Chain A
Amino acid sequence: KNQVEQSPQSLIILEGKNCTLQCNYTVSPFSNLRWYKQDTGRGPVSLTIMTFSENTKSNGRYTATLDADTKQSSLHITASQLSDSASYICVVSPTTSGTYKYIFGTGTRLKVLA
């Protein structure tokens, strides 16, 4: 069964610190892997999109990495800010019979404290 698992479930860090969120998936083959940020009460916002052949993608202080061999992705946040407090969701799009769907992880809830 295709699955996407994220860890940790929640995380609390101090402002200015770095953190890394993990995403393990069993989806294979897949078209692309995305990371989204979702603020409370709002829709998700795309942070990065990587195909299976890419191993890193940056968006400002956010850097996503992908290891297709171990089926792991991580999202590294540098110099965290209070505005980084949100849920971060990993999404994998499998390549199946010419169509595609989305398999979502349950997210990591990040809280940045002053």
Chain B
Amino acid sequence: KQEVTQIPAALSVPEGENLVLNCSFTDSAIYNLQWFRQDPGKGLTSLLLIQSSQREQTSGRLNASLDKSSGRSTLYIAASQPGDSATYLCAPRGSNYQLIWGAGTKLIIKP
């Protein structure tokens, strides 16, 4: 059974710092992995989708990497801004259709 762990559970950093959010999963047989952000009281916004054959994906200040064999993905946020404050969720998709969710990393960027 796939289990997803996100570390750290919470992170508070000053504006402008580069930071890394970690996601680990126990079953490496995944089709892809998706990173989302969730703002308080809101739905989820898709940030990046990495296919199982890919090593990384970039969108603006965000870069996500995937090491399928070791069951790890990282989300790198460059030059963090207060607007990046949110909960970040990773979700690998396994051999069925379902996404398995981590508990998230709550990120606070202090002005």
* B is bound to A: no
Residues of B at the A interface (CB closer than 8 Å) are none
